[in-house]
Amino acid sequence: MAFKLPNQLRALYTATNYHHHHRILSPLAGASQSFVFSLRRLFADVPPLSDPSSAPPPLYPHSTKTSLAPSSLNQYELAKFAAIAETWWDSEGPFKPLHALNPTRLAFIRSTLCRHFRRDSYSAKPFEGLKFVDVGCGGGILSEPLARMGATVTGVDAVEKNIKIARLHAVWPFTNLSPIWIPQLQRLNIVAQQLLVEEQRTFDAVIALEVIEHVAEPAEFCKSLATLTVPGGATVISTINRSIRAYATAIIAAEYLLHWLPKGTHQWSSFLTPEELVLILQRASISVQEMAGFAYNPLTGRWSLSDDISVNFIAFGTKNSQ
Amino acid sequence: MNRLIRRKFGEVYRLKVPQRNFCANGAATNSAQPGYSQDSKIGHYDIAIVGGGMVGMAFACSLASMPLTKDLNVAIIDSNPALSSGVSIKKEEPPDPRVSTVTPATISIFKEIGAWKYIEQNRHAYFDKMQVWDYTGLGYTRYNARDANKEVLGCVVENRVLLSSLLSCLQSADFRKTIYPSRLLTLHRNSSSTKVDSHSSGLPLHGQGNLVKLDLIDGSSLHAKLVVGADGSKSRVRELAGIKTTGWNYSQNAIICTVEHAVENQCAWQRFLPAGPIALLPVGDNFSNIVWTMNPKEANDHKMMNGDEFIKDVNHALDYGFGPHPKSSMFGDGGIFSWLKADVTSASEFFEIPPKVIRLVSDRMMFPLSLMHANNYASKNIVLIGDSAHTVHPLAGQGVNLGFGDAFALSRVIAEGIAVGTDIGEVTMLKKFEVERKTANIAMMAILDGFQKAYSVDFGPLNILRAAAFHVAQHVSPLKRGIISYASGEQRLPLFS
């Protein structure tokens, strides 16, 4: 999620006074363990594609994984994006909370995948020789560390600018990182077919953090992920729970109390519970092996893994061998 | 201008710097990227350590000792020829006056990184007792390692022994290091990434490349993801990074030298005199080290006077000079403080007089005392450790221990970062180190500075207050244990144990 939040936060900065919101954002990010996640949700959600008439028009279509069409990326938004792009990789900048969270998600990925692939957990590059795909890679905040850990990483994202940033940032010293633009993540299954058929590519691990809640059909999405995964390979997914706590932080606080977003933009009902995620992954022949939640300590400003999956959670599964 | 000088140096010294070729090899895999071809002769490193002193070398050893960091490609920049040729220490020579008191915490980490065994092959002196008293004769404290269930209170080691042990440790490790026998001239951040920008979409990205270019005074250059400034209190890295400092001079000078006794000294002694403390530390065999703090004029006199007179003054200062011996039983049995002694082990230890000094066996060196603290330890791609980040009053010999603490903490933070694929120049990661060490360093600095201030005033009521403090420290065991633990390098303040 850390790698995606900027995507959505960008909207916040585009639409409103930068400093004003930055000031509000920081204390709140520290006040609630789920706030960062919630924020992402706030600015990420757009009406489902299937129901365009009843929903308000997407506020910041460029910022979502489910962009209606590339044409919605207008010049004005692109210019705004360029302005915020500079701070994407600034770990002391507006995205500081994200940079703080990233190591925690990577720690989960490292420990589960080292065990799964029987890699030495004391190695600096435990994933050497493994091929990963980072679905929804954003500016590459997750892809780059994975590449540093030795994996050959393909990053895919629906936002072209994200891919540009990821490419620019990763110029040196990466030889094992290649960001690819997929105009619409809805088409992931088609892209998956392309990658499979045209380039004969499958991946040892498919990682999609904070993406699934943006797609209209999570089950189809999971099938695409499964298609990309080699039998016996791993899948890592993180998202927000459809829980009362998530509802309280993401909708009540942010929409109704803080007015950061117009009421009703949030699609709480599109969140998945851990049980649902396990189920749809199972149907895609991925068995979930391990799950964890994220806890935020407001005193230290650090994130850690926890057993509490009531707000944000991350799951590791393996694709059944056929 | 700099570039001009650099070029000139480059031509003159090109042939004298064989390392240039080695470093290029080390980074061959990294420099193959397009856009960097013009730099292919310049070494690319993960870490450039500026300053190969005790702290810089301890940092390198610590990196070499951990599985996650041992594969890092490291450059060490220091003009000290000993780094290449080794330090030669003749055992029959008397100890060098430049010594450090290493704490049990430092010792255990030295053991962990595999450097302590080399120290044990050289001269070193453990001590398990310490006596602190002042010239007014009103109080004293004797610390014994047993009070805190420790075997030793510390170990006095010559700085050259520390350095050579760390060198041996590093040489025995399977570690990719390149030594640049030069000094730092300038730093350029992300110099090599500008070109990438120009043919891109024009986004004003900073951070790509994530490299710092270091130009050395001999004309050579190198690139590093992280520059570690371990270059002492006058740090060039700190200056170039624009990191400001806070601090003051004490208008005091310290005289250091090595002296000889007729018998072996096994205790650390410190007596507070009107102008400052005098410390007598065992350094092995029958030798001791003296650190005597005085006002600059006195210090100068004591440096210039002949050796015999100096020894006479030393013995005077450690015995009856300036005031009487404290009485061991001042608040003795039946007194108002006697209830405090319930579980005291060493409170009953009597005041002792330090062994007489019979001979001066080294030059006397003099240096001014100051306190300095860098406002930041870390910025993007740059981090300071040891004296470059903080210099303290040499009371209690904590300075180098703080530096070693920095070195080990930084290497651990880097290892944790590497575990999750972090860019090692990333400021978020470096700030983790800063937060951890600032707390520890400032606490120790405040305590030492407070001590210095408390003892730089010769004023009746204050003297009694100090004496009372000694008595409390002497007779309240939990406090005493706390003080010993803290002085031993445990990250815990005495009152909160």
- Mean pLDDT on B79-83: 88
Residue among B197, B209, B420 minimizing CB distance to A145 = B420
**Does pLDDT of A307 surpass 70?**
yes
Q: Is A90 on the interface with B (CB under 8 A)?
A: yes
A106 with B421: Cβ contact below 8 A: yes
Claim to verify: residue B131 and residue B265 sit in the same structural domain: yes
Inter-chain CB pairs, A–B, below 8 Å: 97
The residues, any chain, with a CB within 8 Å of residue A155's CB and separated by 6 or more, are A133, A134, A137, A140, A143, A163, A166, A177, A178, A179, A180
CA proximity to A37, closest of A213, A216, A275, A274: A213
Give the gap in angstroms from C-alpha B35 to the nearest C-alpha of chain A. 9
Claim to verify: residue B272 and residue B355 sit in the same structural domain: yes
**Does pLDDT of B64 surpass 90?**
yes
**Does pLDDT of A51 surpass 50?**
no
Per DSSP, the three-state class of B130 is strand
CA proximity to A78, closest of A161, A185, A168: A161
Claim to verify: residue B391 and residue B363 sit in the same structural domain: no
Which comes out higher in pLDDT, residue B85 or B480?
B85
Q: Can you give the C-alpha Rg of chain A in angstroms?
A: 18
Residue among A86, A107, A175 minimizing CB distance to B420 = A107
Q: In the prediction, which pLDDT does A1 show?
A: 37
**Does pLDDT of A261 surpass 50?**
no
Kindly write down the DSSP assignment for every residue of A293-315, as one continuous string. Answer: EEEEETTTTEEEEES--SSEEEE
* Domain-located, residue B205: yes
- Mean pLDDT on B310-330: 80
A144 is in an annotated binding site: no
Q: Is A84 exposed, middle or buried (CB count within 10 Å of its CB: 0-12, 13-18, 19+)?
A: buried
Give the gap in angstroms from C-alpha B24 to the nearest C-alpha of chain A. 15
* Domain-located, residue B496: no
C-alpha A236/C-alpha A196 separation (Å) is: 20
**Does pLDDT of B425 surpass 50?**
yes
**Does pLDDT of B140 surpass 90?**
no
Residue percentage of chain A with pLDDT more than 90: 24
pLDDT, tens digit, 9 for 90 and up, residues A107-150? 999 999 999 999 998 999 999 999 999 988 877 889 999 999 99
CA proximity to A311, closest of A264, A253, A265: A253
Is cis: bond before B181, omega within 30 of 0? no
Into how many domains does chain B fold? 2
Q: In the prediction, which pLDDT does B142 show?
A: 81
pLDDT, tens digit, 9 for 90 and up, residues B347-393? 456 788 899 999 999 999 998 888 899 999 999 899 999 999 998 86
pLDDT, tens digit, 9 for 90 and up, residues A218-238? 888 888 888 889 999 999 999
Q: In the prediction, which pLDDT does A26 show?
A: 33
* Domain-located, residue B170: no
Matching residue, tokens 């269930």: B149
Which comes out higher in pLDDT, residue A63 or B438?
B438
Q: Name the least confident of A189-203, B298-312, B368-382.
A: A189-203
C-alpha A249/C-alpha A271 separation (Å) is: 14
- Mean pLDDT on B284-296: 90
B207 with A144: Cβ contact below 8 A: no
C-alpha B456/C-alpha B475 separation (Å) is: 25
B44 vs A contacts (CB less than 8 Å): 173
Claim to verify: residue B159 and residue B273 sit in the same structural domain: yes
CATH code for the domain of B472: 3.30.9.10
One-letter amino acid at B180 equals: Y
Question: CA B397, B402, B408 angle in degrees (round to 5)?
Answer: 135
Q: In the prediction, which pLDDT does A138 show?
A: 77
A51 is in an annotated binding site: no
Q: In the prediction, which pLDDT does B17 show?
A: 36
Claim to verify: residue B361 and residue B461 sit in the same structural domain: yes
As beta bridge partners, residue B125 has B156
C-alpha B154/C-alpha B267 separation (Å) is: 10
Q: Is B196 on the interface with A (CB under 8 A)?
A: yes
CA proximity to A248, closest of A260, A237, A257: A257
The residues, any chain, with a CB within 8 Å of residue B278's CB and separated by 6 or more, are B270, B271, B290, B291, B292, B293, B314, B317, B318
C-alpha B234/C-alpha B370 separation (Å) is: 12
**Does pLDDT of B450 surpass 70?**
no
Claim to verify: residue B312 and residue B346 sit in the same structural domain: yes
Question: Cα dihedral sign for B87, B93, B96, B100?
Answer: positive
B421 with A144: Cβ contact below 8 A: yes
Claim to verify: residue B310 and residue B193 sit in the same structural domain: no
One-letter amino acid at B273 equals: L
A169 with B33: Cβ contact below 8 A: no
CATH code for the domain of B219: 3.50.50.60
- State in Å, rounded, how far the first CA of chain B is from the last one: 56
Boundaries of domain holding B344: 99-163+249-368+454-487
* Domain-located, residue B93: no
Contact A5, A98 (CB under 8 A): yes
Q: In the prediction, which pLDDT does B421 show?
A: 92
B67 vs A contacts (CB less than 8 Å): 122-124
A105 is in an annotated binding site: yes
Which comes out higher in pLDDT, residue A43 or B144?
B144
Residue percentage of chain B with pLDDT more than 70: 72
Claim to verify: residue B127 and residue B213 sit in the same structural domain: no
Residue among A82, A110, A172 minimizing CB distance to B209 = A172
Q: How confident is the model at residue A290 (pLDDT cuts 50, 70, 90)?
A: very high
Q: Is A149 on the interface with B (CB under 8 A)?
A: yes
* Domain-located, residue B168: no
- Mean pLDDT on A207-222: 83
CA proximity to A45, closest of A29, A66, A25: A66
pLDDT, tens digit, 9 for 90 and up, residues B391-400? 886 665 668 8
- Mean pLDDT on A82-89: 59
CA proximity to B239, closest of B180, B187, B182: B187
Q: Name the least confident of A52-56, A123-127, A150-154, A268-272.
A: A52-56
Claim to verify: residue B69 and residue B151 sit in the same structural domain: no
A92 is in an annotated binding site: no
* Domain-located, residue B492: no
| Axis-axis angle for helices A160-169, A75-88 (nearest 10) | 30
Claim to verify: residue B298 and residue B360 sit in the same structural domain: yes
- ipTM of this complex: 0.70
C-alpha B270/C-alpha B186 separation (Å) is: 43
* Domain-located, residue B176: no
C-alpha A159/C-alpha A155 separation (Å) is: 12
A164 with B67: Cβ contact below 8 A: no
Which DSSP letter does residue B95 get? P
Q: How confident is the model at residue B468 (pLDDT cuts 50, 70, 90)?
A: low
The residue in chain B having the minimum alpha-carbon distance to the alpha carbon of residue A101 is B428
* Domain-located, residue B497: no
Instruction: Look up the pTM and report it.
Output: 0.77
B445, B463, B478 - which closes a domain: B445
Residue percentage of chain B with pLDDT more than 90: 44
Claim to verify: residue B236 and residue B269 sit in the same structural domain: no
The top-scoring range by mean pLDDT among A62-66, A94-98, B42-46 is B42-46
Claim to verify: residue B265 and residue B281 sit in the same structural domain: yes
Give the gap in angstroms from C-alpha B343 to the nearest C-alpha of chain A. 38
- Mean pLDDT on B412-418: 95
B192 with A148: Cβ contact below 8 A: no
